[in-house]
């Protein structure tokens, strides 16, 4: 299962359960809970070696810039 499918599956399960809870709990508390759960799920996914596509792209950009700098330093 790739990270997108895993994220979507977890998101769907959590959303389903939160909808049931939202009928019982005030909205501002629900938003707070949702934010905390989202961060925890992201942390769990990253511990498994997966990262968001945007984070991957940012890291890839940094690597490319560092490789350019190394090449320029080696020329000098």
Alpha-carbon distance 76 to 20, whole Å? 64
* Band (2; pLDDT cuts 50, 70, 90): low
Top-confidence residue, 53 or 67: 67
Query: pTM for the whole thing?
Result: 0.44
Residue with tokens 């399960």: 13
71 phi/psi in degrees, rounded to 5: -60, -40
Alpha-carbon distance 49 to 20, whole Å? 31
- pLDDT attached to residue 11: 79
Q: Is the pLDDT of residue 63 over 90?
A: yes
- pLDDT attached to residue 1: 53
Alpha-carbon distance 66 to 43, whole Å? 27
Q: Are 14 and 41 in contact (CB under 8 A)?
A: yes
């Amino acid at each position: 299962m790739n990270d997108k499918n895993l994220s979507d599956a977890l998101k769907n399960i959590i959303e389903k359960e939160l909808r049931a809870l939202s009928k019982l709990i005030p909205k501002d508390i629900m938003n707070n809970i949702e934010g905390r759960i989202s961060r925890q799920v992201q942390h769990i996914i990253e511990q498994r070696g997966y990262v968001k596509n945007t984070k991957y792209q940012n890291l890839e950009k940094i690597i490319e810039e560092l490789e350019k700098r190394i090449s320029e330093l080696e020329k000098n």
